[in-house]
Amino acid sequence: MFKLNLKIALRNLWKNKAYTAINIGGLAIALAAFILVILYVTYETSYDKDVPNYDRIYQVGRSLPDFKTEYTPAPLAKLIKDNFPEVEVAGKMTPTWFEFPINTEKGRVYSNKALLMDFKVARMLNIWPDAKSVDEKDPGFQMYVPKLFIKELFSDKKVVFPTMVGLGPKKDAQPVKLFGTIERTDEHSNIKFDIVSLSKDIGLDNKDYGTNNFRTFIQVKDGANIEALQQKIDQLYKTELIKGGMTANDRRIAGRSVIFLDPLKNLHLRPMAGNDTNYKIVVALFGLGTLIIIIACINFTNLTIAQATKRAKEVGVKKVLGAYRFNLTFQFLAEIFMQCLLALILGLILAEMMLPLFNNLFGIPLSIWHGNTALFGQLILILLGVTVISGIYPALVLSGYKPASVLKGNMQTSYKTLWLRNSLLAGQFVIAIIFIAGLLIVNNQLKYMQAEDKGFKPSQVVFIKNIQFYNKPKDFESARNKIMKIPGVNNVTVASDIPDGSKPGTNNYKLESKELSMDFLDVNFDYFETLGIKLKSGRFFSRDFIADTAVSAILNETAVARYGVTNPVGKVIRGCNMDYKIVGVVKDFKAQGFEATVAPTIYAIKNPCNEKKIKIMVNIDQSSMTSALAALKSQWSDINTLDGEDFRYEFLDELYGKLFKKQEQLQSVFFFAAMLTIFIAVLGLFAFSAFTTNNRIKEISIRKILGATDFQMFKMLNTFFIGIVLIANLIAWPLAYVLAKKWLETFAYRIDIPLFPFVIAALFSTVLTVLTVSIQARKAVKTNPADALKYE
């Protein structure tokens, strides 16, 4: 019986080759897209899953009045471990905020992701050296590097550890012992490093609760009450701050919880101290992939139901011969399973072909066949799910025909499914229209971000990488004067931070009676002129005023607004244990992009809380850019006497442009998703209109005999489908509007939702419908009525 059913299934599929190809092809394309989405979602949600006790590791953070931070004081880890038995391990780590070169006889490599880490944290996070034995009681620092980094440092494959390397410039390199390697890549981890220095206590027994430079990690016992633990740590931490001199009614701790515990599994996608852009991209992609599968299943179901009348007599004969409905349902589900299995195989092939493009778009190393055993279990579930979703209703319809009716030629049962077929067709276009409108809205927001005034001009600014400190203006004067002599150079400055989206340091500042947490930047003369930032009131820092190097400060508009001061110029603001005189107010500029509002910020040339001016910025005429960079490169060893071996630079507009990368990725995803859903919807419409037109060919012939024109026939056949598409637009518009509004709310600076994306989506879907249906209608309209009616 199975063999017979298999033959019938294969013959039916071969007999209707066009419909079979459309069914399987559309589903295969959708499955290929969904496989890529599943790979991406699995990758993004499995950061650090190779870490033992992954579910019991938490990062300790602090919630301040104006923001949250993952940075905590050095003694907090020991305080937690000593007082709470439910905590098994506690330790800390800290990144270095500067880069430095490592020198060997064979090579020179710059590190920009160096970490200092307690041995306890290294064990907790599975970052452990390859050495057979490690002295965990060593109070000094043991430096290790990943194996991949070794290849760049040493040409000889057989390196005997420990070995000596030099840190810093070649002329004044500091000899440091390199203890060995670590077998680890950080591409799939929240903890990224190219060098790690391990020690018993990287805080060196620091007991200062006022300085927050460390990230604290804890591992709790199985079954620990995290909420209760969080409250207990919070109370103890506040007690220590009060012991250190902070008042109990201080705004930083009064009437609120300060400490929070952030699970390790949340750090990549939804960190409490950070943005959740990655999470939104994952959710958006998974939603798009699911919608694509749904539209493909709708297409499959619709075409299968449309073909039902051709199988009616087969069902009638089988029922007369004793077949039960259950047997027929199982048979038709088996046929649909065969088609879905073939579609899945084709989908895997297509996914493999598209994978390099997908990896390049998202900058990730996904693979279908290597290190992805979970995927094959997921594919089985996808196959079964698609088979059930696509096949259960058609199977029930096909197996439900009544033998007496269908053998007499009564096919009225098929008309009972007309409402469903129309609804499914409309549903396909609803999804396609949402994608079209969504693509246009995403594109508009991206264009707005690229064209909108950022408040500064990064287009002709070059950021020169450097390891020399220029904390005092006089330290930078020599280098500045030499750079300014190069033709085409307009301005030069040095600062602690550049406007590339990175978050500067924060501290509390008091103006009059109000205290506010503000970002602070340590800058030099010409900082605002170099970046093209506009002055609102007062003046910029000037060499004509000696006090500017010691006690002057400049605020931005947001800071002035938050303090509620009408005219702050000339007033005194206190922070970092010193008083500043406000000499100017600058207009806000979007240093951290468009997703976050401009933070209240203070700029000073002298800043005891910072003193890490290391980032050089040079404003160069566009017409002289090439020659100026060549001159800088040739003169760099003379300009920068400490760090002159390598001239390394980046364009500031390219660095700032990286803030738009996630949105550009989303735009690309929407483009491909829109094209894919439109293609699948048109495929379904093409097949469905062909089936409908063929069923009405006798009616068309009679109408032509009675005098109907070709235009009237085209109008009759198109009107029905255009009506469905217009209804789909009416349903899709409010859905697209709500989704777009929700997405745009993630931006502090955004467009108003325009009308034209919805109009374009409606016009595009209507034109496509007319073209698709007219291609099929033309065949029927041009058919000779005598050929269509000769058997009547």
Which tokens hold the place of 205? 């027994």
Residue 375's identity, in one-letter code, is L
130: helix, strand or coil: coil
Tell me the C-alpha distance between 499 and 214, whole Å. 24
435 or 705: which leads in pLDDT? 435
602: helix, strand or coil: strand
- β-partners of residue 464 are 616, 649
Q: Does the pLDDT value for residue 283 go beyond 90? A: no
Q: Does the pLDDT value for residue 320 go beyond 50? A: yes
| Mean pLDDT of the residues in the chain | 83
User: For residue 233, what pLDDT is reported?
Assistant: 93
In which residue are the tokens 């009525």 written?
A: 785
Residue 418's identity, in one-letter code, is L
Q: Is the peptide bond before 85 cis (omega within 30 degrees of 0)?
A: no
Residue 127 · residue 182 · CB < 8 Å: yes
- β-partners of residue 214 are 72
Residue 718's identity, in one-letter code, is N
Parse the chain into domains and list their residue ranges.
Answer: 2-43+277-444+661-789, 54-266, 466-647
| Nearest partner of 33 among 686, 684, 668, judged by Cα | 668
Number of residues in the chain: 792
Alpha-carbon dihedral angle through residues 734, 736, 737, 743, given to the nearest 10 degrees: 150
Band (pLDDT 50/70/90 cuts) for residue 124 is: very high
pLDDT digits (tens, 9 = 90+) for 695-729: 677 777 777 777 777 777 777 778 888 888 899 99
Beta-sheet strands, E only, within 296-338: none
pLDDT digits (tens, 9 = 90+) for 5-54: 566 666 666 666 666 777 788 788 888 888 888 888 888 888 888 888 88
Distances (CA, A) of 405 to 316, 332, 504, 561, 735: 8, 20, 78, 80, 43
Which tokens hold the place of 87? 């905590």
Which helix (H) or strand (E) segment is 509 a member of? strand 505-511
Distances (CA, A) of 713 to 703, 704, 764: 8, 8, 23
pLDDT digits (tens, 9 = 90+) for 741-776: 988 888 888 999 999 999 999 998 888 888 888 877
pLDDT, mean of residues 159-173: 80
Sign of CA dihedral 767, 769, 772, 773: negative
Which tokens hold the place of 531? 């970046």
- Cα-based angle 436, 438, 441 (whole degrees, multiple of 5): 115
618: helix, strand or coil: strand
Q: Which of 89-93, 140-144, 307-311, 535-539 has the lowest mean pLDDT?
A: 307-311
541: helix, strand or coil: coil
Which tokens hold the place of 772? 């698709």
pLDDT, mean of residues 570-585: 91
